[in-house]
């Protein structure tokens, strides 16, 4: 496995590769990321994992400074998983000049996570477009845990006619249902025991919808109250249309239930798709 830090070296290394599968990450890798690399390997002989903590997608009061940087351990895991190349540019390689040219993902950036994290999806879309230009993959794999991010990337690829096949992989979970995330490492022992409740609450909403409940705002209000009663601070727990993440109506058949809530100082997100 090659560990590469510059775009020039990456281009040289990739020159002879005919099909590249790409997994963009911010590092601090866990089983969920490695699952994405295995999916990439099914689509391409050469797999590239990028590791870059992207300042542009963090708000001023967010965890950019304390986000875990574990490059050595990440490389060991990538090598064991059969990754071909780890691309780990530093900030001056990614942003040699202030990034005045950015990608505006449109209205989807202002809903759900975009409310609590203004500018987040512009930062994500901008760095992903840059990474796509650097790696020039044929296939790119993203996890569905970041459902809104997947929609933003889908819009980016479709609307800019990028010749990249996107694969959105199922969320990898711990045995108790908690969606795997680098931020789970921030949880205390007590918080970690409570954390699966977010997924459990989404599943309770799914059960209610399957049983015929179509008053989605009532369902959402009850779930917010249930989470608050257990000590969570929810940003949202909501029933949306899969197509554009706008609020679902009783007529919609392809739904996604999404939640974001803070447990102590850690913000967790999760979602469950539901087809009626």
**Mind telling me the catalytic residues?**
33
Q: Residue 207 CB, nearest distance to ligand PAF (Å)?
A: 29
Q: Residue 50 CB, nearest distance to ligand PAF (Å)?
A: 7
Q: Which span sits near ligand PAF by CB under 6 A: 38-46, 124-132, 199-207, 255-263?
A: 124-132
**Dist CA 29 CA 80 (whole Å):** 12
SS3 (DSSP) at 186? helix
* Region for 264 from its dihedrals, namely left if φ exceeds 0, alpha if ψ lies in -120 to 50, beta otherwise: left
Decide: is 271 part of the binding site for ligand PAF (CB under 6 A): no
What's the angle, vertex CA 126, arms to CA 240 and CA 39, rounded to 5? 65
Q: Which span sits near ligand PAF by CB under 6 A: 100-108, 123-131, 172-180, 238-246?
A: 123-131
- For 61, residues 6+ apart whose C-beta sits below 8 A from its C-beta are none
Cα separations in angstroms, 192 against 27, 51, 71, 102, 198: 21, 26, 24, 36, 11
**Dist CA 180 CA 139 (whole Å):** 23
Decide: is 127 part of the binding site for ligand PAF (CB under 6 A): yes
Q: Residue 90 CB, nearest distance to ligand PAF (Å)?
A: 14
| CB atoms closer than 10 angstroms to residue 37 | 23
**Dist CA 259 CA 54 (whole Å):** 23
Give the contact letters, 24-43, x = binds to ligand PAF (CB under 6 A), - = no.
xxx-----------------
Q: Residue 225 CB, nearest distance to ligand PAF (Å)?
A: 30
Decide: is 124 part of the binding site for ligand PAF (CB under 6 A): yes
For ligand PAF, the binding residue among 146, 201, 220, 235 (CB under 6 A) is 146
Give the contact letters, 44-83, x = binds to ligand PAF (CB under 6 A), - = no.
----------x--x--------------------------
Q: Which span sits near ligand PAF by CB under 6 A: 9-17, 22-30, 59-67, 109-117?
A: 22-30
* Region for 35 from its dihedrals, namely left if φ exceeds 0, alpha if ψ lies in -120 to 50, beta otherwise: alpha
Decide: is 128 part of the binding site for ligand PAF (CB under 6 A): yes
| Residues at the interface with ligand PAF (CB under 6 A) | 24-26, 54, 57, 124, 127-128, 146, 149
């Amino acid at each position: 496995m090659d560990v590469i830090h510059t775009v020039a070296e990456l281009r040289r290394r990739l020159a002879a590769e005919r099909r590249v599968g790409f997994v963009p990450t911010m590092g601090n890798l866990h089983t969920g990321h490695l699952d994405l690399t295995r999916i990439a390997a099914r689509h391409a002989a050469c797999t590239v994992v990028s590791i870059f903590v992207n300042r542009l997608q963090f708000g001023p009061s967010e965890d950019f400074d304390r986000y875990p940087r574990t490059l050595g351990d990440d490389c060991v895991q990538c090598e064991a998983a059969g990754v071909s190349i780890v691309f780990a540019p530093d900030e001056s390689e990614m942003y040699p000049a202030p990034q005045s040219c950015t990608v505006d993902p449109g209205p989807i950036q202002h809903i759900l996570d975009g409310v609590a994290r203004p500018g987040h999806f512009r930062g994500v879309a901008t760095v992903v477009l840059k990474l796509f230009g650097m790696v020039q993959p044929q296939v790119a794999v993203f996890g569905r845990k970041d459902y809104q991010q997947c929609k933003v990337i889908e819009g980016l690829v479709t609307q800019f006619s990028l010749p990249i096949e996107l694969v959105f992989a199922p969320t990898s979970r711990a045995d108790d249902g908690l969606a795997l995330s680098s931020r789970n490492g921030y949880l205390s022992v007590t918080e970690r025991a409570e954390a699966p409740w977010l997924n459990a609450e989404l599943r309770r909403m799914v059960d209610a919808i399957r049983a015929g409940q179509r008053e989605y705002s009532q369902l959402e209000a009850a779930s917010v109250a249930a989470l608050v009663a257990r000590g969570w601070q929810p940003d949202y727990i909501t029933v949306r249309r899969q197509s554009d993440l706008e609020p679902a109506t009783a007529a919609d058949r392809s739904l996604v239930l999404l939640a974001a809530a803070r447990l102590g100082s850690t913000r967790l997100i999760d979602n469950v798709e539901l087809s009626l």
